[in-house]
Amino acid sequence: MVYESLIAIVESHLSDLTKTWADEVRKTTYLETYKKLSEAELTRRGNTLFSNIQNWLLKGATVDDAETYFYKLGTERFKEGFSVTEVYYALHLEKKVLWSFVAWKDEISGILEANDAIEFMAIINNYFDLGDFNIIRGYMNELYSQLKDSKKFDKKELESIIAGGALYQESNKEIGEKLFSEGLSIDLIK
């Protein structure tokens, strides 16, 4: 029921979610690069963000799908010249806007019971946590790759500039699975 409710909220309020997100982007002082986008492009990107969460839920909310989408997003935003903090904050605004619509919907309908509310939180938080990690991972991998290709730094210098670990390792499926299984082990994700 929770998946269906969340899908219905996104589906029935997609244009409102997109407009609210774009309004939030324009109001904040943290997203100067996003503010340079045309109105149509900003709206398209907001719509894509919310459509992706809907598609993710429809496909079964897999870790792999979220990782792939957000990794690609991080890589693209690096190539477009966005700072990683802007990309991260734009995703934060998406979560904030989505939560406001979920809270409003529940206030009106009263459909969520305590267990459903906890499951809702777990699903949404898992999605955005995977997003945060994989956006940064994709962004940092692209940064690492471009710095490496510039041949201005040797491997040791690059590793000192960009801390090692999972952020720029290609094979970190285990990390996503571990995060997901930790959520399962404490019964937050069903």
55 domain-assigned: yes
| Whether residue 68 has pLDDT greater than 90 | yes
Q: Determine the length of the chain.
A: 190
Closest-CA residue to 87 (of 126, 32, 167) = 32
Q: What is the pTM of this model?
A: 0.80
For residue 171, give its domain range: 2-185
| Whether residue 33 has pLDDT greater than 90 | yes
20 domain-assigned: yes
13 domain-assigned: yes
190 domain-assigned: no
Name the domain count of the chain.
1
132 domain-assigned: yes
Closest-CA residue to 2 (of 131, 165, 154, 118) = 118
* Each residue's pLDDT tens digit, 89-148: 999 999 999 988 877 665 445 555 666 667 778 888 999 999 999 999 999 999 988 998
Is-contact 29 36, C-beta < 8 A? no
Task: Let me know if 152 is exposed, middle or buried by CB neighbors in 10 A (0-12, 13-18, 19+).
Answer: exposed
Where residue 117 sits, what CATH number does that domain have?
1.10.490.10
98 domain-assigned: yes
Band of residue 51 on the pLDDT scale cut at 50, 70, 90: very high
Transcribe 73-94 into DSSP letters: HHHHHHHHT--HHHHHHHHHHH
138 domain-assigned: yes
96 domain-assigned: yes
